[in-house]
Amino acid sequence: MTESTHPHTPDLLLHQRDARGVHRLTLNSPSSFNTLSEAMLSALQQALDLIARDDQARVLVLEAAGKAFCAGHNLKEMRAQPELTYYQKLFAQCTRVMLSIQKLPVPVIARVQGLATAAGCQLVAQCDLAVSVDTATFGVNGIDVGLFCATPSVPLVRNMHAKQAMEMLLTGGFISAAEAQNRGLVNRVCLATELDAQVDALVQSILAKPREAVRLGKALFYQQREMGIEAAYQLAGQTMACNMVHEVAQEGVQAFIEKRAPTWRG
């Protein structure tokens, strides 16, 4: 697999899509603990936009180099421009990246090999799935420097119970990978030597399913979550109807009736 870097920063590696349709993005600024600098956010946005347009994409694995997964925003960069308009632009830029992950038509798996704090924890929470090493820690500790982690709270409270999220936000306390799994922030926790195998097991499970059904399902999952129950059921019913008339579901159901494995294209 070849690697390429964004033309304006070496901080993000966009790996060539493999034969299975799996993309990988590597946060590659270990010396800064992979902070979400302006350059990093810009590179992430462009890479996500590129993957969104790839009809052959099936899964995106988001990973990082070094000891930390992501330590959040670059505080030195932020402190250098103490202006409201700058901060509004920066957080809007970060929000676009987070929403692009949710809107991506393929599942995004966070491969967490180390510390994920503040907007880095937000990044893990925003991904559809997450696999973590058992030594990783998670926190939204902006409060320690007088900055409540408001934007990280958005996906955090959508992953875990409100009081659990609020405790982390108010105290700045960190939780272990095991506790992150108990609270719903990550799906799987494993030894570092097992991390790639665990990620690939999830990838393989997704690749075994038809792309169109996964695309429809992911979009529906996030849309209905923000609705009242009646509107959610209406949207879910319409989604299932559209899914059912698609050739992948027709083939899947026919295969079930005929007691054979389905044959899907893509």
Q: Check whether 191 has a pLDDT greater than 50.
A: yes
Given the structure tokens 């529906």, which residue do they identify?
Answer: 220
Q: Check whether 193 has a pLDDT greater than 80.
A: yes
For the chain, give the percent of residues with pLDDT over 90: 76
CB atoms within 10 A of CB 21: 19
From the candidate CATH numbers 3.40.50.460, 3.40.50.300, 3.40.50.620, 3.90.226.10, the one assigned to the domain spanning 3-207? 3.90.226.10
For residues 22 and 16, is the Cβ–Cβ distance under 8 A?
no
Which CATH class name applies to 211-257? mainly alpha
Q: Can you read off the two tokens belonging to residue 205? A: 């499970």
Highest mean pLDDT range out of 3-17, 59-73, 77-91? Answer: 59-73
Please give the helix or strand (H or E) that residue 64 lies within, else none.
strand 59-64
- Residue 19 in 3-state DSSP? coil
Q: Can you read off the two tokens belonging to residue 57? A: 């994409």
The per-residue pLDDT for range 38-70, each reduced to its tens digit, is 999 999 999 999 999 999 999 999 999 999 999
Report residue 132: phi and psi, to 5°: -130, 150
Considering Cα of 33, then 35, then 41, then 42, what sign does the dihedral take?
negative
Strands (E) in 114-160, as ranges, are 115-117, 129-133, 137-139
Strand order across the beta sheet in which 188-190 lies: 3-6, 9-15, 22-27, 59-64, 108-112, 129-133, 188-190
CB atoms within 10 A of CB 265: 9
Q: Check whether 1 has a pLDDT greater than 70.
A: no
Query: How much is the pLDDT for 246?
Result: 87
Which residue ranges make up each domain of the chain?
3-207, 211-257
- Cβ neighbours of residue 230 under 8 Å, at least 6 residues apart? none
Residue 185 DSSP code: S
pTM: 0.91
Report, in angstroms and rounded to the nearest whole number, the Rg of the chain calculated over CA atoms: 19
Query: How much is the pLDDT for 236?
Result: 83
- Residue 81 in 3-state DSSP? coil
The per-residue pLDDT for range 150-189, each reduced to its tens digit, is 999 999 999 999 999 999 999 999 999 999 999 999 999 9
Strands (E) in 83-168, as ranges, are 108-112, 115-117, 129-133, 137-139
Q: In whole angstroms, give the CA distance from residue 189 to residue 112.
A: 9
Q: Do the first three CATH levels of 3-207 and 211-257 match, i.e. the same topology?
A: no
Query: How much is the pLDDT for 245?
Result: 79
For residues 141 and 117, is the Cβ–Cβ distance under 8 A?
yes
Q: Check whether 5 has a pLDDT greater than 60.
A: no
